[in-house]
Structure 1
Amino acid sequence: MTTFDTGRFDTVLVANRGEIAVRVIRTLRALGIRSVAVYSDADADARHVREADTAVRIGPAPAAESYLSVDRLLDAAVRTGAQAVHPGYGFLAENAAFARACAAAGLVFIGPPADAIALMGDKIRAKETVRTAGVPVVPGSSGSGLDDGQLAAAAREIGTPVLLKPSAGGGGKGMRLVRDAALLADEIAAARREARSSFGDDTLLVERWIDRPRHIEIQILADGHGTVLHLGERECSLQRRHQKIIEEAPSVLLDDATRAAMGAAAVQAARSCGYRGAGTVEFIVPGKDPSSYFFMEMNTRLQVEHPVTELVTGIDLVEWQVRIAAGERLPFAQEDITLTGHAVEARICAEDPSRDFLPTGGTVLALHEVNGAWDSPLAERGRGPGAVRTDSGLSQGAEVGSRYDPMLSKVIAHGPDRASALRTLRAALAATVTLGVTTNAGFLRRLLAHPDVVSGDLDTGLVERAAAGLVDGTVPDAVYAAAGAVRQAALEPAVPEGGWRDPFAAPSGFRLGGEPAPVRHWLRVPGHDPVAYDVRPGAAEDIREVTADRVRITVDGVLHTFHRSGDWLGRDGESWHVAPYDPVAEALRGAAGAHGADTLAAPMPGTVTVVKVAVGDDVVAGQGLLVVEAMKMEHVISAPHAGTVTELDVTAGATVAMDQILAVVAPHESATDAGDASPRTDEEDAS
């Protein structure tokens, strides 16, 4: 990293949290710039707070009262003597009013001009602007401020399938794919709710849906002296519910000519809005005809997936965001940008693939991240064969709640070619340990081994099509064996040195004149039926080791090693909470009045945003009763069968815990099919 003149900036406030705040802080440190972190009450002991040079509390846990409060952020910057503000991504990163407020307070906003944010943040105006500049755009609605009827009419004119998109946001929030015109009204209402919740603006547009498309984006760098360059592309086609989960650079789809043409189009799009700083121009590309690409939107901020571009170009994008904001010129030309090797990134999120990817939470009890500590984003071990970089906001003891985005970290691998980068990333995910919070790491590892992913035959629907085959709904026998060994070890008191232990002090299976009988332990993994597992005391060949952080056990002649913390076990990127189960206590609890299939419980911790019924209302099977939002995702809770609402224990705005009872629907006597008692997501409700 070259010398940076700190005369312009000696202190920068990072107006964000989590892994992106940590990542920005590390580049600031490498540049010799003092960093200021901000935190809500929920993040008082967060990793980004501890890694910054100083930190300022900006309010309570709700984002609206902390990370989205312009006044509190500016006050923190002024109080700490900051000259500039880095917004990261999410929250206020693409908020033109925040950029203008920074300027009014005498602070440099490390990002594009406010006018460029406003223009490109409005997807409708953005499309019109780049179309005028000669950039091809996706066919769709025209004009802003369309009401529900006008949106529906535009969708019918385009012809289904269509995609509803919030005009003011990104990241897949509020997007709805509609294949049945009869569902337009419900889907428009749901898209508006989520857009309003995520971006404070429920303006929508509608676009033609291109079947089996690929999502390819071009990284842009533009200084304040007229130079605009592109740094190649990123393939972001592996998505779930319109959220990217795996990204790579470069794309196997593009040849040199198409790469140059798309790069030139992206540069033209950036010039059309007077862009400055780092940004991304996103294109939708028909997989069978990559030369027919369409502009989708421009993200006027750093992207989550920026590390893959850093690793193949050798350019620290955060460093150049800071340098450009300080007035420096880009010292290289387009012909100087070269792509070396291949990089792939996987996003680790707090979600449970076995429960339809519902958000999770909890306390991080044990954590191991591969090469998670680095002094510079482009340190030598961050590039080259077998190199792995982890960008993370996690630390042991951290609380993962439902108020913020579910992404916890990113694991990025770099190699000389795509095959080696994929292998390295799969190995890194297998070595990643996060006990106490269920994540998608194991699912991502299996996805990276999918034949279509390995071959590069990608499209944005691949994950949805393949997900069922990549989610193992069973718990391996070895997990129960390890948990049984843990329970048995906890019941067996240690033998005092030189002393004697009462053989009847713990269940040992002891019996006269024969081998010890198996000791039965009842165990349960949430979401699965309880299991009775028999442990053979004294079978040293089976239980090799049980410690506070590890279990080694042989099952059917195969040695299994698990990471352990309390009742949590983990290996190969997977984790299981295997708790003791008391069948007698559960039976008594059920006899005391459990509602069984009539009960609707919260599928994850979150906030009730909509209550559509009242006690006494008659409902039909599948009717949406409540909406619970967690980590910026909506989930519709539906009636398990036709009946009457006899209990309703929550109101709109209430915070609920996982498995908390929300409502009870007593079945009608005439009901012949109780249906599925499981809550359904909004996608299922719409299908």
Structure 2
Amino acid sequence: MTTKPFETVLVANRGEIACRVIRTLKAMGIRSVAVYSDADAGARHVREADTAVRIGTAAAADSYLRIDSIIEACLQSGAQAVHPGYGFLAENVEFAKALDAAGIAFVGPGIEAIDIMGDKIRSKNHVMSYGVPCVPGIAEPGLSDQELIEAAPGVGFPLLIKPSAGGGGKGMHVVERPEDMAATLATARRVAAGAFGDDTLFLERLVPAPRHIEVQVLADNHGNVIHLGERECSLQRRHQKVIEEAPSPLLESQPDGKELRARIGEAACDAARSVAYSGAGTVEFLVSDQDPEHFFFMEMNTRLQVEHPVTEMVTGIDLVEWQVRIAAGEVLAVAQSDVVLDGHAVEARVYAEVPERGFLPSIGEVVALRERSGDDPHVRIDSGMLRGVTVTGDYDPMLAKVIAWGPDRKSALDTLDHALADYSLLGVQTNVEYLRLLINDDDVRAGRLDTGLIGRKLEGMQFRHAADAEIVAAALLARDAAAPVEANSPWNAADGWRVGAPAPWRVTIGLPDGGLATVSLTGHGPDATARVDSGVEHPAALRPGTPGTGDAVLVLDGVEHLFELGLPPASGTAGASLPREIWLGSGGWSCRLEILDREARLQRVLAGIQREEGAADPEVRSPMPGTVVSVPVNNGDHVETGQVLVVVEAMKMEHQLVASVSGTVHLSSKPGDLVKADQVLATIHVAAESSSPAAEEQQDKEA
């Protein structure tokens, strides 16, 4: 197609999805307009768009969620249409109404479709009347906590509490026992109100060993509705998808797989027809692994999905292009008989998080980036990252998506594994190593998937840790960074030179787990040796890498180790000072090593001896910058080990901070507080144990 449906389209989003939409707009010859908050002034989507408009401060509520700011940006830029991406205002019916009132086209479905499908209770009842099968449960608007508690036994345990508004798995809670209903409902309402502005909840029976299978639909404004096959999204953590693929290995493994695909596809089309849907949408189903013939409608997402690239790779259809054309009133030129699924595609979501620490969000500046999608025509990387970009806690932690295609599932997974090994982002901790471990798990490779698999597998995963090779490489890099300004002057040398035998050059490395390592370096070039702590000396040499092998090659005891390198901008300059930190990456794994001066080393040592090894920490600290959203205890309360003391929200996720010991809690935070990483939010005072009843009596008298 060569026609251009619009002259200018504004992309009301950020990050990788904004970049992805802008890419198609450029291919169509359409002028693209980006919007940005203060936190995103230098973001990739801003640089790639033809023009950009500032819409507010860093907080999403003051920028990307401001309908009036988006409308004003359209008027300033002359945009005739708005593509919402996903998240933010993508499924906001008031946004669609405001665009319609301003005479600006919405690249999405009609207002009625958004309205009905945006309410999970209403949507379930609506599609049931059109013969679409739904999960048993209770879905009525306005139910109180007490009414939901009374209805729960009729639904059956275990069950799911789900928010009526929103999507993406946010706010869903599993309840195993009746006695847990009240507390879980309180949490669910708070999360739903904070995330979606609507605390309406409903209950749904938990399907055992469920598979999450969704169907991509495409519909125009002329009555044409087709589906583009299904996607398997069963690999999830806390109901958030991690790995997605097309087609579903479950359907592929069934003797009547083609017939089953046609049935579930037609059910999705029926759901779309029930609301006169137009554009690209996704109908999500729960399918029992034990009985795939039965599938149940969960919800319809009236927008593009994060995982849409796997469908594009197996069908060859650009969904964003068709979204734009349909919004302009064009007739869908693809018939159901034209849709052929070719090969297999798998997508992995790259998040700024630390899997080993309960997937805590990570923030920081990207100091090195390597994304090699262009080297393999079967690999695609949708990314919003650039070197120098700061990842903050203001938005969702997803940074990029790595997608791979193959003629079959095994080859697609192999290609994805190689692509992830080649993906290097330093300066922020990511889940790339975890993704590689996950897609190489035996059950995943065999297609034995369900939504609880990640939770069962995480504990047994063996993550890589910094070893001697990484520690020595960091020490050599630190010594090189502290090179003399005057190369020929021994007084400026940072090599331990002295009259007589050369003294070793020593540096203390702070390890990611909080430990320390002291490295002694002697000599340079091929004659250099390294000793870690009190170990033996090893021949060690560091040389620059070559294209395709990494930034540096460490030869330790004759064995080569390849690394990607990342140093903060202030580090690595000439002068007699050490860099603050060094990032090393290899095969998708990365670590941050601190270069400690004497003061920092002393602080680490003192912190280690102030508390006995294995003792619980009475200080409760925030693991990341964020906002305190709940403090369910009172100052002076007696608390037990494991009791929730403070709830902090960061990157749109809640993190419960619990008591590590029993005792009296003293709070130093309250709801609404903005907190820094490692800030003390509560302290637990443990009562000293009395030695005898007589001592307790004396203590009482003194009191």
Q: TM-score, normalised by structure 2?
A: 0.88
**Which of 603, 610, 618 is the equivalent residue of 1:598?**
618
Shift of 1:505: 4.3
Alignment match, 1:544: 542
Alignment match, 1:417: 408
**Which of 624, 647, 650 is the equivalent residue of 1:630?**
650
Q: Does the residue aligned with 2:415 lie in a helix, a strand or coil?
A: helix
1:461-540 aligned at under 5 Å gives the runs: 461-472=452-463, 474-493=465-484, 496=487, 499=488, 501=490, 505-508=493-496, 519-538=505-524, 539-540=527-528
**Which of 587, 595, 600 is the equivalent residue of 1:572?**
587
Q: Does the residue aligned with 2:137 lie in a helix, a strand or coil?
A: coil
* CA distance in structure 1 between the partners assigned to 2:177 and 2:555 by the alignment: 53
Q: Does the residue aligned with 2:645 lie in a helix, a strand or coil?
A: strand
Q: Does the residue aligned with 1:493 lie in a helix, a strand or coil?
A: coil
Shift of 1:662: 1.6
**Does the 8 Å CA contact 2:394/2:650 hold for their aligned counterparts?**
yes
**What does the per-residue CA deviation read over 1:104-132, in whole Å, with 9 as the maximum and x for residues that have no partner?**
11111110111111101111111111111
**Which of 332, 336, 339 is the equivalent residue of 1:337?**
339
Shift of 1:583: 3.1
CA gap 1:372/1:48 in 2 versus in 1, 3 angstroms: farther
**What does the per-residue CA deviation read over 1:139-198, in whole Å, with 9 as the maximum and x for residues that have no partner?**
111311211112222222222111111111111110111112221111111111111122
**In the alignment, is residue 55 of structure 1 matched against residue 52 of structure 2?**
yes
Shift of 1:5: 3.2
Shift of 1:507: 4.7
Amino acid at match of 2:644: G
Alignment match, 1:153: 150
Moved more, 536-545 or 76-85: 536-545
Alignment match, 1:584: 602
* CA distance in structure 2 between the partners assigned to 1:286 and 1:618 by the alignment: 45
**In the alignment, is residue 91 of structure 1 matched against residue 88 of structure 2?**
yes
Shift of 1:658: 1.6
CA gap 1:495/1:3 in 2 versus in 1, 3 angstroms: same
1:355-394 aligned at under 5 Å gives the runs: 355-371=357-373, 382=377, 387-394=378-385
* CA distance in structure 2 between the partners assigned to 1:399 and 1:446 by the alignment: 27
CA gap 1:534/1:188 in 2 versus in 1, 3 angstroms: farther
**Does the 8 Å CA contact 2:473/2:554 hold for their aligned counterparts?**
yes
Amino acid at match of 1:563: E
* CA distance in structure 1 between the partners assigned to 2:106 and 2:481 by the alignment: 56
Alignment match, 1:377: none
**Does the 8 Å CA contact 2:35/2:52 hold for their aligned counterparts?**
yes
**What does the per-residue CA deviation read over 1:470-522, in whole Å, with 9 as the maximum and x for residues that have no partner?**
251633332212112223333453773xx4636x9435487957xx6755432
**Does the 8 Å CA contact 1:486/1:546 hold for their aligned counterparts?**
no
**In the alignment, is residue 649 of structure 1 matched against residue 651 of structure 2?**
no
Q: Does the residue aligned with 1:481 lie in a helix, a strand or coil?
A: helix
CA gap 1:147/1:184 in 2 versus in 1, 3 angstroms: same
CA gap 1:517/1:160 in 2 versus in 1, 3 angstroms: farther
* CA distance in structure 1 between the partners assigned to 2:98 and 2:156 by the alignment: 42
1:56-135 aligned at under 5 Å gives the runs: 56-135=53-132
CA gap 1:518/1:447 in 2 versus in 1, 3 angstroms: farther
* CA distance in structure 1 between the partners assigned to 2:560 and 2:464 by the alignment: 23
**Which of 627, 630, 640 is the equivalent residue of 1:620?**
640
**Does the 8 Å CA contact 1:649/1:661 hold for their aligned counterparts?**
yes
**Which of 450, 454, 463 is the equivalent residue of 2:441?**
450
CA gap 1:55/1:495 in 2 versus in 1, 3 angstroms: closer
Moved more, 213-222 or 125-134: 125-134
Shift of 1:589: 7.0
Question: Of the two, which has the highest radius of gyration?
Answer: 2
* CA distance in structure 2 between the partners assigned to 1:220 and 1:237 by the alignment: 19
Amino acid at match of 2:673: A
Alignment match, 1:171: 168
**Does the 8 Å CA contact 1:162/1:178 hold for their aligned counterparts?**
yes
1:420-435 aligned at under 5 Å gives the runs: 420-435=411-426
Shift of 1:210: 1.2
Consecutive unaligned residues in structure 2, runs of 5 or more: 252-256, 529-538, 568-581, 692-703
Q: Does the residue aligned with 1:253 lie in a helix, a strand or coil?
A: helix
Shift of 1:524: 1.6
* CA distance in structure 1 between the partners assigned to 2:103 and 2:489 by the alignment: 76
**What does the per-residue CA deviation read over 1:280-324, in whole Å, with 9 as the maximum and x for residues that have no partner?**
000111112211111111111000000000010000000000000
What is the RMSD of the two structures over their aligned residues, measured on CA atoms?
Answer: 2.4
Moved more, 457-466 or 521-530: 521-530
* CA distance in structure 2 between the partners assigned to 1:619 and 1:451 by the alignment: 42
Shift of 1:463: 1.1
**Does the 8 Å CA contact 1:354/1:471 hold for their aligned counterparts?**
no
**Does the 8 Å CA contact 2:617/2:661 hold for their aligned counterparts?**
no
* CA distance in structure 2 between the partners assigned to 1:339 and 1:590 by the alignment: 58
Amino acid at match of 1:542: A
**Which of 270, 284, 299 is the equivalent residue of 1:297?**
299
* CA distance in structure 1 between the partners assigned to 2:499 and 2:413 by the alignment: 54
**In the alignment, is residue 666 of structure 1 matched against residue 652 of structure 2?**
no
**Does the 8 Å CA contact 1:236/1:244 hold for their aligned counterparts?**
yes
**Which of 153, 168, 183 is the equivalent residue of 2:180?**
183
Q: Does the residue aligned with 1:542 lie in a helix, a strand or coil?
A: strand
Shift of 1:274: 1.3
* CA distance in structure 1 between the partners assigned to 2:237 and 2:519 by the alignment: 36
Amino acid at match of 1:543: A
Shift of 1:70: 0.7
Amino acid at match of 1:501: P
* CA distance in structure 1 between the partners assigned to 2:77 and 2:483 by the alignment: 56
* CA distance in structure 1 between the partners assigned to 2:498 and 2:412 by the alignment: 53
CA gap 1:224/1:524 in 2 versus in 1, 3 angstroms: same
Shift of 1:580: 2.0
Shift of 1:561: 1.1
* CA distance in structure 1 between the partners assigned to 2:628 and 2:45 by the alignment: 29
Amino acid at match of 1:52: A
**What does the per-residue CA deviation read over 1:243-289, in whole Å, with 9 as the maximum and x for residues that have no partner?**
00100111121111111110011111111111111000001111122
Q: Does the residue aligned with 2:617 lie in a helix, a strand or coil?
A: helix
CA gap 1:610/1:671 in 2 versus in 1, 3 angstroms: farther
1:554-569 aligned at under 5 Å gives the runs: 554-566=555-567, 567-569=582-584
* CA distance in structure 1 between the partners assigned to 2:545 and 2:494 by the alignment: 19
Amino acid at match of 1:158: V
**Does the 8 Å CA contact 1:130/1:269 hold for their aligned counterparts?**
yes
**Does the 8 Å CA contact 2:234/2:449 hold for their aligned counterparts?**
yes
**Which of 312, 316, 319 is the equivalent residue of 1:317?**
319
Shift of 1:467: 1.3
Q: Does the residue aligned with 1:578 lie in a helix, a strand or coil?
A: strand
Amino acid at match of 1:628: V
**Does the 8 Å CA contact 1:642/1:671 hold for their aligned counterparts?**
no
Amino acid at match of 1:195: A
* CA distance in structure 2 between the partners assigned to 1:596 and 1:134 by the alignment: 56
**Which of 261, 264, 286 is the equivalent residue of 1:262?**
264
Alignment match, 2:573: none
Alignment match, 2:27: 30
